[in-house]
A and B are shown apart, each in its own frame.
Chain A
């Protein structure tokens, strides 16, 4: 006779996340767990670089030129100081420069992908939802840009932006120019995927209902369609992050990226290449290995995410 509904405590968001399919496949994939752990450690190391790094490599007061070219784990001949990964020509601790360099690499990578994502999603939503001439112009531009390799597009944008900024601000602005260049070279994929998904979603009933009650197009795109097209975007964002980190390193290595005053991993590799022939291998090897591990684990994480979110692609 007691037909009262038993009060069910709503599950917390954390609990929901733990019980989700995504977390389940994550627990079953050793590759995903290892690469996630590596990414987490590297990101934390980069974020807390000022706390972890034994020296601040960009504070001239903490440098001693006598410490230059100290091999890893061995005391310096003049000062007796010892460094975990050795020092470069100016006596900077390689371990510290890597931590600070990774900070810049990750910052540029994440910011560039975020920029590409926002830009691409906006244009993709608009071209999918509005259609007509707007769509033609946006998607044609995307097609044209796709015929060129993105690294070339990034170089050109970097070159032009460098030309536009006044000489005295160039070094300060270099990081932002780099983010703009990599971001603009990478928006096409986001726009294409979002446009495709939007074309499917916009004819569904919930969108028609929203239109019927008089919501504005902007609100429909942002509040109704966007949440439903996000999961492929997440996959592309992860894979793009690996590509963006490598693109940043490549540009900085070529000398058209992060300036020597704010070296990223690519700049460090560029500096290290100069000592390849004189036998100071550690200046080159450690930044290169860090870059490789970082890019590879982000890449593997992206692969896993793609398989997990889209079982059909396996």
Chain B
């Protein structure tokens, strides 16, 4: 078992090293950093000096090592476009994205599980069928169209909610939060629904199919025969046993939420990391792109690793399977 965990950690580290190589190659080969940093008026000595200063005259492997060393310490260089350290910009933008992702994640999990249980218990009910058909549309509508639709409905026609930005934020020791003001909370509603809708339908469909599977089992029939209340059977016996695959999917979807935040943030002009990344692509701001790539891969690889290890603890069958020479 320990061997399995060590192996998985090793694999994850390898993946990160490779992603780091990709990010580093972007730095090194996409556009000449010297060109980007020095203006038109430059001399050969200027170029040589800067080249030595940046360590660009050293061998590839040494440069790669230095890049990794910097990345681990959170040093990703200076944004070509804003002229400020990338780490500083990222830190400034992170709270907006994390708050948005957190709210949509919570919404997706709560409503996803509740609706999934509901549609499974009342599988032939009219409302359950309406919800299921609605979820199909939710899956096939592109995220940005959902966002535009919500803006049209609630901002343009009804005028209830703001269509862009975070509203007023309160600064809590470097962490700007939108949770504490009314306009901040209002501004959160539409983006978080847009972002969470896809994950919600995903969780709902998964919970529904798992519940249907479990409700057919003998121990459920036995619990009913014992005269237990519906609520106890549905929630204490059935739902509990559907949670293993659901937790895995939720874990993996957490990363996806942060990635898809790029689209939502653009639609709502939400000042988060995703919008920063899109602007970086538009203006070919390589340091920002590389830093975002590194950051998001650490997150994805970390989540994957955690889910794998968790799975290992939750499901004893896997333990028996894998500890023997896999």
Contact = CB atoms under 8 A, between A and B. Distances in A.
A108 interface: no
17 contacts: A144-B15, A144-B19, A148-B296, A152-B296, A155-B277, A155-B281, A156-B289, A159-B281, A159-B284, A160-B26, A162-B281, A164-B29, A249-B144, A250-B144, A250-B263, A254-B266, A292-B145
Interface stretch (A68-76, A269-277, A304-312): A269-277
B293 A156 contact: yes
Given A159-B280, A246-B142, A299-B140, A277 B156 contact: yes
B140 A253 contact: no
Nearest to A158: B281
A296 interface: yes
A300 to B, nearest CB: 9
B281 A295 contact: no
Contact of A152 (B259, B280, B282): B259
A151 B152 CA distance: 25
Interface in B265-323: 266-267, 277-278, 280-282, 284, 286, 289, 293, 296-297, 300-301, 304
A291 B286 CA distance: 32
A288 B31 CA distance: 36
Interface residues of A, number: 33
Contacts of B263: 151, 250, 254
B141 interface: yes
Interface in B224-266: 256, 259-260, 262-263, 266
Given A269-B145, A295-B142, 8 more contacts: A152-B296, A155-B262, A159-B280, A162-B281, A246-B142, A250-B142, A255-B266, A299-B140
Contacts of A295: 140, 142
A149 interface: yes
B72 interface: no
A276 B266 CA distance: 15
A298 to B, nearest CB: 10
Contacts of A254: 144, 262-263, 266, 278
Contacts, number: 88
B300 A148 contact: yes
B142 A256 contact: no
Contacts of B156: 276-277
Contacts of B30: 160, 163-164
A284 B282 contact: no
A261 interface: no
A162 B279 CA distance: 13
A147 interface: yes
Interface in A138-181: 144, 147-149, 151-152, 155-156, 158-160, 162-164
Which range holds the interface residue count of chain B? 35 or more
Nearest to B139: A299
Interface of A: 144, 147-149, 151-152, 155-156, 158-160, 162-164, 246, 249-250, 253-256, 269, 273, 276-277, 281, 284, 288, 291-292, 295-296, 299
For B30, B31, B142, the residue with the greatest tally of chain A CB atoms inside 10 Å of its CB is: B142
B18 interface: yes
Interface string B4-45: 000000000001001100000010011100000000000000
B26 A288 contact: no
Contact of B260 (A149, A269, A296): A149
B256 to A, nearest CB: 6
Interface in B125-145: 140-145
Contacts of B26: 160, 163
A255 B300 contact: no
A249 B152 CA distance: 19
Nearest to B266: A254
A148 B144 contact: no
A151 B19 CA distance: 17
Contacts of B284: 159, 162-163
B31 A163 contact: yes
